[in-house]
Amino acid sequence: MGQSNQTRLGLKPNSFLQFWARTVLDAASPPIRIWPPLSVYRTIAGGIFFFYHHPTSVPQEKFAKNDSIIQNVQLWACLSHLNSGKMMPAPPTPKTEKLEGLSMPGTGLHKTVLITGVSRGLGRALALELAKRGHNIVGCSRSQDKLSSLEAELTSASTSSSSLSSQGKHLIMNVDVRSNSSVEELAHAVREKKSIPDILVNNAGTINRNNRLWEVPVEDFDNVIDTNVKGVANMMRHFIPLMLDRKQQGVIVNLSSGWGRSAAGQVAPYCASKWAIEGLTRSVAKELPTGLAIVALSPGVVNTDMLQSCFGTSASLYQTPEAWAPKAATMILNLTVADNGMSLTV
C-alpha cells in the first residue's frame, strides 16, 4: 500500500493545509500540475478565510479549536492569491470623519512621545532609546522611587544625541493610570507645559501570578483589568482630545501581547485584558477622525519582570528590553495614519 503525500513528505497531520498551500505555490512553475484546478483551492481557502475574519457571520469559537489550522488556511489563501498574480485584499478602511487642517510634522523633526509605565522594562528602554534619537519624552509611572534616576538618564541620553538636543524638554510624573483623576492631572500638566504628544504609547501593564482563574485572588484580577484595560481607556479619554486640538497627525500605540491573540493557562486575567486591548483598539480606530491613528502593538517575547514571573529563569533566553527598544522605536516612529486599526508585532 503506497504512502500518502503527507506521510511521504514527513508532514504532521496539522500541517495538511500547509502542504496544500505549498502545492498551490509550486503549481506556478510548470511542469507540476495539480487537480482540482487552482480556482477550486482559492475558492475553498478564500471562503474559510472570509468566515474566520467575520465572526458575526459564523461563531469564531467553531474555528478557534485549532489555531494552527486557521493559520495554515490563511497562509494557503495568501499563497493562492500570489499564485494568481493578485494581491490579498486590504482590510476595509474604517469610515471616519475627516479632521480638517491636520498636518504631520516632518520626519526630521523631534517628536513628543508620551509613554506610560516608564519606570522599568519596555517603557524605560523605549524612553531612553527615543531620547537618544533627540525626541522629547513625557513619561509617567506609579514607581516614584525610580523616576528620579530615569530623569537623569533621559537628560544624559538627550545630551549625547547626535541630533539637536532635546535636553530640558522631558516631563516625568508620578501617575497611576488606574485612576481617572490621576490621568486628568497628567493631561493638565501636559497642556500647561505645551508637551502634547505626537505619539502616545500605552505601555503600563501588569500580570497576575500564575494560577488557575478560580484561584486568582479577586484583588489580583481587579489590578490586571484596572491597569491593562481601564488604564488605557483613561489615557485615551484625556489625551485624544488634546491630540485633536493640536491640528497635527498623531498615533496612539496600545501595547498588546501575543496572549492578546491567543491563550494560555495560568494567566487568564492577563489574556483577557490583552484581548480587550485588541478589541478596544479596533473599535476606537473606527471612531477617530482622519489624522489620528491607533494600533495594537505586540512587543514579542522580551525578558522583563513580567515574563520572569511566568517563565522563571527561562525568561533569560529571550531578548532584553535594551535589545528590543531600537527595533520598537523605529517601528513606532514610522507609523502613519495608514496603519489605523492594525494589529502589529515588533
DSSP 188-243: HHHHHTT---SEEEE-----PPS--GGGS-HHHHHHHHIIIIIHHHHHHHHHHHHH
Determine the pLDDT at residue 203. Answer: 99
Per the listing, cell 524612553 goes with: 127
Residue 209, pLDDT > 70, answer: yes
Q: Reply yes or no on whether the pLDDT at 142 is more than 60.
A: yes
For the CA atoms of 246, 251, 256, 261, the dihedral, rounded to the nearest 10 degrees, stands at: 130
| Percent of the chain at pLDDT exceeding 90 | 61
Section 58-77 average pLDDT: 42
Residue 8 reports pLDDT greater than 80:
no
More confident residue, 16 or 236: 236
pLDDT for position 145: 84
pLDDT-derived band at 143, boundaries 50, 70, 90:
confident
Q: Which residue has the higher pLDDT, 209 or 15?
A: 209
Q: Which residues contact 279 (CB under 8 A, 6 or more apart)?
A: none
Neighbouring CB atoms inside 10 A of 312's CB total 10
**104-108, 288-292, 299-303: least confident range:** 104-108
What's the whole-number mean pLDDT along residues 117-125? 97
What's the whole-number mean pLDDT along residues 267-273?
98
| pLDDT score recorded for residue 31 | 45
d(CA 261, CA 257): 7
The C-alpha atoms of residue 270 and residue 207 are separated, in whole angstroms, by 5
Residue 247, pLDDT score: 85
Catalogue the active-site residues: 270
